[in-house]
């Protein structure tokens, strides 16, 4: 749009002053009306040969002000090139504008202008602008284009990228400043693995994308607690404490090859469930696809088969034992989809691997681990020290194998077929349905022909009439109580 505001005075090396008119100093110029055409009902005349207008009433050349606008009483705020185009071509469409063909050309002004459609700068749809400076058809497109330009800038500009990343932490209680965070991230190297990181990329972040991570999650994103981290490491450590991160990091790099877990707390079989961690990893299958895995027992059996198939170790490296300690502990066993988004096949891996793998394939995950020199040492030297009685009194192990009930007492007998039938009969006898329920009220229905039918209660009426609506019982009761005139084509009355 800025191009439309540049107007040049042909034959004169200076711009016209803000008066928008000037006395004719060219003695050779002679106004000949047959070469000029009048602009509307004004005194201005335009010619295709000259790059100025002529005011016939005041006998002056008119160029427009510095913005290229003609100051007229009858037609205020008209651009010079718009008036020139209208004079010879008629009215400009609401969806079009007049602009230069070649902004650098300074002669033959009429030959250098043409009309162009107003196309939205984001969606490229035709629209009617509010003024010549309008570039977008709506505020939504304006915002989307701004977001698009900002994202493009964030691909190369560290300051812009960091500023958007810490937007939620610029306010209290963190009060982060972009300059301080940029100073910490200027090397663009991951604090944990040391690889070179990239800024914003198209689509989802990549494993080597730059993120801002809180080393100790419980302390939040304060300046002294944040570090630059690649997206892969950030996902891997998730909400783990700083001490757990340091232990895991040393093990992954091979600095420590023996991991002592003997002092860790875990839920025992005789502990109170309400106050201890009791979630089982196989429940993930039930939550993710209840049609394919209809019961928790079915999920437990599938997990148990994976447990034996993987020889009690993780599926990817065959190093980490399948165990469970406290909630969200990094070595807790978890069910991971072999193919992202597909619930047909699962594998058992430690929780930190599940977090880091996310939607990567097994091969892509191992490639990312190798790039960071994680678990590239001789894994035959790896050793885990578990609590002495973990496999005997662990709530997780006992629930997996069903060796004992929750209180630790073994089943002493198996019920016979006769005993099962007696228990079933006793449960059926306890059901108080229809006339057996002393609190039920007999009800009758009257159809439009006056025919009467009796039912033991509303539930029996719903079953006999095969009403599928969940509200059928309540609607019949409302009709019998006088709140509705009819229900399902019948008048209902209590007997």
Span 259-286, average pLDDT:
88
Evaluate whether residue 90 is within a structural domain.
yes
Q: Which residues, other chains included, contact 128 with Cβ-Cβ below 8 Å and sequence gap of 6+?
A: 94, 95, 118
* CB-CB contact of 358 with 339 (8 Å): no
Beta bridge partners of 394: 268
Rounded CA-CA distance 208/193 in Å is 10
| 287 lies in the same domain as 357 | yes
Q: Tell me: do 395 and 313 sit in the same domain.
A: yes
In a domain, 336, yes or no: yes
pLDDT at position 311 over 60? yes
**Which H, E and C letters describe 16-62, residue by residue?**
CCCCCEEECCCCCCCCCHHHCEECCCCCEEECCCCCCEEECCCCEEE
Indicate whether 364 and 458 sit together in one domain: no
> Closest Cα to residue 279, out of 347, 241, 315, 332?
332
Q: Domain tally for the chain?
A: 4
Residues 6 or more apart from 291 whose CB is under 8 A from it?
A: none
Q: Is residue 441 part of a domain?
A: yes
Nearest of 482, 436, 485 to residue 459 by alpha carbon: 436
Please, which pLDDT band fits residue 440 given cuts at 50, 70 and 90? confident
What distance in Å separates the CA atoms of residue 247 and residue 263, rounded to the nearest whole number? 14
* Residue found under tokens 């570090």: 227
Over residues 213-249, the pLDDT tens digits come to 999 999 999 999 999 999 999 999 998 999 999 999 9
pLDDT attached to residue 237 = 94
The average confidence (pLDDT) of the chain is: 86
| Residue 43, domain CATH | 3.90.75
Element (H, E) at 163: helix 158-165
Out of 88, 117, 146, pick the residue that ends a domain: 117
Residue with the larger pLDDT of the pair 24 and 259: 259
Percent of the chain with pLDDT over 90: 56
Q: Indicate whether 252 belongs to any domain.
A: no
> Higher confidence at residue 197 or residue 414?
197
Contacts of 5-9 with C-beta under 8 Å, sequence gap 24+, read 5/67, 5/68, 6/68, 6/100, 6/103, 7/63, 7/64, 7/68, 7/80, 7/81, 8/51, 8/106, 9/51, 9/52, 9/63
CB 375 within 8 Å of CB 369:
yes
Q: How far apart are CA 255 and CA 377, in angstroms?
A: 10
| Mean pLDDT, rounded, for 54-62 | 88
Q: What is the pLDDT of residues 104-128, one digit of tens each?
A: 776 668 888 999 999 998 999 999 9
Average pLDDT in the 412-436 region? 67
Q: Give the CA count within 13 Å in the CB-facing half-sphere of 260.
A: 2
CATH number at residue 471: 1.10.10.10
Q: Does residue 202 share a domain with residue 318?
A: no
Task: Determine the Cα–Cα distance for residues 364 and 345; give it in Å rounded to an integer.
Answer: 18
Residues 338 and 391 in one domain: yes
Q: Could you say which of 100, 117, 134 is where a domain stops?
A: 117
Convert the pLDDT of each residue in 442-493 to its tens digit: 899 999 888 999 998 888 898 889 888 888 989 999 999 989 999 999 999 9
In a domain, 354, yes or no: yes
**Domain co-membership, 317 together with 390:** yes
The 10 Å Cβ neighbour count of residue 375 is 18
Same structural domain, 291 and 390: yes
- Note whether residue 330 is domain-resident: yes
Find which of 10-14, 108-112, 372-376, 392-396 is predicted with most confidence, using mean pLDDT: 372-376
Do residues 309 and 392 both lie within one domain? yes
Residue 209, CA distances (Å) to 173, 228, 234, 240, 490 in order: 26, 10, 10, 20, 68
Specify burial of residue 157 (Cβ count, 10 A radius: 0-12, 13-18, 19+).
Answer: middle
Looking at the fold, whether 6 and 110 belong to one and the same domain comes out as yes
- Most confident range (mean pLDDT) of 63-72, 76-85, 346-355 is 346-355
Summarize the confidence of residues 25-31 as an average pLDDT.
Answer: 66
Q: For residue 402, how many other CB atoms are within 10 A of its CB?
A: 11
Distance CA 305, CA 288 (A): 19
- Domain around 324: 275-401
Closest CA to 480 of 495, 492, 471, 489: 492
Q: Is 211 helix (H, G, I), strand (E, B) or coil?
A: strand
What integer pLDDT is reported at residue 10 of this predicted model? 31
Each residue of 360-382: pLDDT tens digit?
999 999 999 999 999 999 999 99
Does 410 score more than 70 pLDDT?
no
Are 6 and 94 in the same domain? yes
Asked whether residue 318 is assigned to any structural domain, the reply reads yes
Banded model confidence at residue 411, pLDDT cuts 50, 70, 90: very low
DSSP 8-state secondary structure symbol assigned to residue 109: T
Residues 440 and 386 grouped into a single domain = no
Q: Poorest-confidence range of 20-29, 123-132, 158-167? A: 20-29
| pLDDT score recorded for residue 1 | 37
Integer angstrom CA distances of residue 21 from 24, 28, 74: 9, 19, 16
Cα–Cα distance for residue pair 424/187, rounded to 1 Å: 72
Beta strands 210-214; 226-230: pairing state: antiparallel
| Residue 79 domain-assigned (yes or no) | yes
Give the integer Cα–Cα distance in Å for 165 and 140: 22
Residue 188's pLDDT is what? 94
What H or E segment, with its residue span, contains residue 246? helix 242-253
Average pLDDT over residues 371-399: 93
The mean pLDDT value for 391-402 works out to 89
- The answer on 232 and 299 residing in a single domain is no
């Amino acid at each position: 749009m800025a191009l439309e505001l540049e107007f040049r005075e042909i034959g004169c090396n200076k711009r016209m002053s803000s008066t928008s008119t000037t006395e004719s100093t060219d003695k050779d110029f002679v106004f000949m009306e047959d070469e000029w055409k009048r602009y509307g009902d004004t005194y201005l005349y335009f010619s295709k040969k000259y790059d100025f207008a002529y005011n016939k009433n005041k006998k002056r050349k008119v160029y427009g002000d510095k913005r290229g606008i003609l100051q007229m009483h009858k037609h205020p705020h008209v651009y010079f090139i718009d008036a020139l185009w209208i004079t010879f071509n008629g009215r400009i469409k609401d969806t079009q504008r007049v602009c230069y063909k070649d902004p650098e050309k300074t002669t033959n002004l009429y030959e250098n202008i043409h009309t162009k459609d107003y196309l939205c700068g984001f969606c490229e749809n035709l629209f009617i602008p509010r003024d010549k400076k309008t570039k977008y058809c709506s505020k939504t497109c304006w915002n989307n284009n701004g977001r698009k330009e900002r994202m493009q800038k964030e691909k190369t500009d560290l300051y812009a990228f960091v500023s958007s990343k810490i937007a939620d932490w610029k306010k209290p209680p963190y009060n982060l400043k972009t300059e301080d965070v940029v100073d910490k991230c200027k090397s663009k190297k991951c604090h944990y693995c040391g690889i070179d990181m990239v800024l914003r990329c198209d689509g989802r972040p990549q494993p080597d994308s730059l993120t801002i991570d809180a080393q100790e999650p419980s302390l939040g994103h304060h300046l002294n607690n944040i570090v630059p981290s690649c997206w892969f490491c950030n996902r891997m450590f998730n909400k783990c404490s700083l001490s757990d991160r340091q232990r895991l990091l040393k093990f992954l790099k091979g600095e420590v090859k023996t991991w002592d877990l003997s002092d860790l707390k875990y839920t025992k079989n005789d502990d109170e469930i309400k106050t201890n961690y009791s979630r089982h990893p196989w429940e993930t299958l039930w939550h993710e696809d209840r049609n394919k895995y209809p019961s928790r027992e079915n999920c437990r059996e599938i997990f148990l088969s994976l447990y034996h198939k993987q020889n009690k170790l993780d599926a990817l490296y065959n190093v980490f034992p399948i165990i469970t300690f406290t909630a969200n502990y990094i070595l807790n066993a978890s069910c991971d989809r072999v193919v992202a988004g597909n619930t047909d096949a699962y594998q058992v891996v430690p929780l930190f691997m599940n977090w880091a793998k996310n939607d990567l394939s097994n091969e892509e995950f191992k490639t990312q681990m190798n790039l960071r020199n994680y678990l590239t040492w001789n894994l035959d030297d790896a050793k885990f020290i578990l609590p002495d009685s973990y496999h005997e009194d662990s709530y997780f192990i006992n629930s997996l194998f069903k060796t004992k009930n929750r209180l630790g007492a073994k089943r002493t007998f198996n019920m016979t077929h006769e005993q099962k039938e007696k228990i079933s009969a006793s449960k059926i006898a306890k059901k108080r349905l229809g006339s057996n329920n002393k609190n039920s009220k007999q009800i009758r229905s009257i159809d439009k022909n006056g025919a009467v039918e009796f039912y033991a209660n509303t539930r029996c009426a719903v079953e006999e009439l095969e009403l599928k609506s969940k509200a059928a019982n309540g609607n019949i009761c409302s009709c019998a109580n006088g709140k509705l005139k009819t229900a399902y084509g019948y008048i209902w009355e209590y007997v």
